[in-house]
Amino acid sequence: MNILLVGAGGREHALAWKIAQSSKCGKLYVAPGNDGMSDIAEIVNIKVDDIDGLLNFAKANKVGLTIVGPELPLTCGIVDAFQKAGLKIFGPTKALAQLEGSKVFSKELMKKLGVPTADFKVFTGYEDALKYLEGKKSPIVIKADGLASGKGVVVCKSMSDAKAALQKIMVDRAFGSSGDKVIIEDCLIGEEVSVIVISDGNNIVTLESSQDHKRIFDGDKGPNTGGMGAYSPAPVVTEDLLKKILDTSIYPVIRALAVEGTPYKGALYAGIMITDKGPYVLEFNVRFGDPETQAIMPRLKSDLVDIMERAVDGNLKNYDVEWDARPCVSVVAASGGYPNNFHKGMEIRGLNEASKMDDVIIFHAGTKLGRRATDRHNLFLSNGGRVLNITALGADFKLAIDRCYEAVRAIHFDRMHYRTDIAYRAIKR
């Protein structure tokens, strides 16, 4: 069967890598993909939100299954459009993508279902929000309702930070209409983990737990990024805790949506804060995590395409998923300056050496093949803030970390930046 994967980053490279191993996979297309995937897939130059373009491509190329990586096409209604055309597609409908696309929708659903989440209030007017804020204490969290490229959440240490965040979202309209509504919510303290499941509408396959590292610098310092590395499993998520997270956070949502006649199909990601009162949901995402997926896919032994097809067909009941018990660590090599201004087009050296190391896999997030006047061959150049996800498995966390950083040190580009403490929490435990 021909498969079309939508997306361009490291998460999509990890998915493509796993999809390409499936006995069910015929020709694999990735739109728009990146050049780092071109050895396993055909790169198709169509943007993720060009729904008509993707649909026409899928029809013309006899695509039997389309898999959506990022949230944007989902919130644009790609699943609805493909379903209407009678094409198989993995992901939730536009209405359900609101779980990520609208924080107000998501929080109100959690409240209705009794899913543990921080207490919150929703505001549509700046004056009302400000008045409410003045009666609260810091730390406090301000969230723009809509998608804001991961920048719409501000965890405010002081009241002045909180007022500035409110002003930025509601008055300066930094995120446009995504700031029409704002959530002011209590700040939760604890350790964050990611729990991702694949749902067929009624049944789920639970992926192994993982943990992201959102801050740019070691020791969780500096500004938030799209994620600087991940590891799986997260030892803090014991079997009991996972059961609790599924029972209090995931199943209530899956069941309620099924009962309402709008079954949720696709990947569902719960961002969890483990507080001293138990696990609380910070957010739901309607897709796989990035960079969590890069640390999870190398551990998945079962056929991902089979799981996704079963999810679309409503056929995941009693599915037994198999995992490699070895932990996996994935470190992001970023462009110096990221998440602020950075340069692109830096020559990347050492990719061949690193990828030949045992149990090392390199997923490309932002690279492209290019050539300068003096070069005889094409070579990989940096082409984004997050450039590579350098990933390794090991018999235990220490070995996985050591191997991963050995590969990281074999790779070089000008102003390459990476955290040196990915998975440190797993070691501490």
Indicate which of ligand GLY, ligand AMP, none lies near residue 118 (CB less than 5 to 8 Å, by partner kind): ligand AMP
Nearest approach in angstroms of CB 282 to ligand AMP is 4
Closer residue to ligand AMP (CB): 192 or 406:
192
- Is there a contact between 283 and 273 (Cβ–Cβ < 8 Å)? no
Nearest approach in angstroms of CB 122 to ligand GLY is 22
Pairing of strands 28-32, 42-43: parallel
Task: Print the SS3 string covering 102-128.
Answer: CHHHHHHHHHHHCCCECCEEEECCHHH
Give ∠ CA 326-327-331 in degrees, rounded to 5. Answer: 140
188 binds ligand AMP (CB under 6 A): yes
- The binding site for ligand GLY (CB under 6 A) comprises 212, 227, 285, 289-290, 292
Separation of first and last alpha carbons in the chain: 44
φ and ψ at residue 31, rounded to 5 degrees: -120, 125
Indicate which of ligand GLY, ligand AMP, none lies near residue 50 (CB less than 5 to 8 Å, by partner kind): none
Q: Which residue is nearest to ligand GLY (CB)?
A: 289
Indicate which of ligand AMP, ligand GLY, none lies near residue 359 (CB less than 5 to 8 Å, by partner kind): none
Closer residue to ligand GLY (CB): 8 or 170:
8
411 binds ligand AMP (CB under 6 A): no
Nearest approach in angstroms of CB 92 to ligand GLY is 15
Nearest approach in angstroms of CB 332 to ligand GLY is 11
Give ∠ CA 371-372-376 in degrees, rounded to 5. Answer: 65
Instruction: Compose the 292-331 pattern: x for residues touching ligand AMP by CB under 6 A, - for all others.
Output: ----------------------------------------
Which H helix or E strand runs over 143?
strand 140-144
Closer residue to ligand GLY (CB): 123 or 269:
269
50 binds ligand AMP (CB under 6 A): no
Indicate which of ligand GLY, ligand AMP, none lies near residue 292 (CB less than 5 to 8 Å, by partner kind): ligand GLY
15 binds ligand AMP (CB under 6 A): no
> Distance (Å, rounded) from C-alpha 112 to C-alpha 312?
27
Which H helix or E strand runs over 417?
strand 416-417
* C-alpha closest to that of 404 among 363, 365, 366, 368: 363
> Over the range 319-345, which residues count as b (16 or more CB within 10 Å of their CB) and which as e?
bebeeeebbbbbbbbbbeebbeebeee
Helices 159-166 + 126-134 axis angle, to 10 = 170
Size of the site for ligand AMP (CB under 6 A): 11
> Distance (Å, rounded) from C-alpha 162 to C-alpha 125?
15
* C-alpha closest to that of 17 among 305, 266, 211, 287: 305
- Is there a contact between 76 and 53 (Cβ–Cβ < 8 Å)? no
55 binds ligand AMP (CB under 6 A): no
Closer residue to ligand AMP (CB): 283 or 292:
283
118 binds ligand AMP (CB under 6 A): yes
Instruction: Compose the 17-46 pattern: x for residues touching ligand AMP by CB under 6 A, - for all others.
Output: ------------------------------
Which part of the chain contacts ligand AMP (CB under 6 A), choosing from 13-21, 183-191, 228-236, 342-350? 183-191
Closer residue to ligand GLY (CB): 194 or 203:
194
Instruction: Compose the 231-260 pattern: x for residues touching ligand AMP by CB under 6 A, - for all others.
Output: ------------------------------
DSSP track, 176-238: GGGGSSEEEEEPP-SEEEEEEEEEESS-EEEPPPBEE--EEEGGGEEEE-S-SEEEES-TTS-
Indicate which of ligand AMP, ligand GLY, none lies near residue 188 (CB less than 5 to 8 Å, by partner kind): ligand AMP
Nearest approach in angstroms of CB 272 to ligand GLY is 12
Binding residues (CB under 6 A) for ligand AMP: these are: 118, 141, 153, 155, 185, 187-188, 192, 271, 282-283
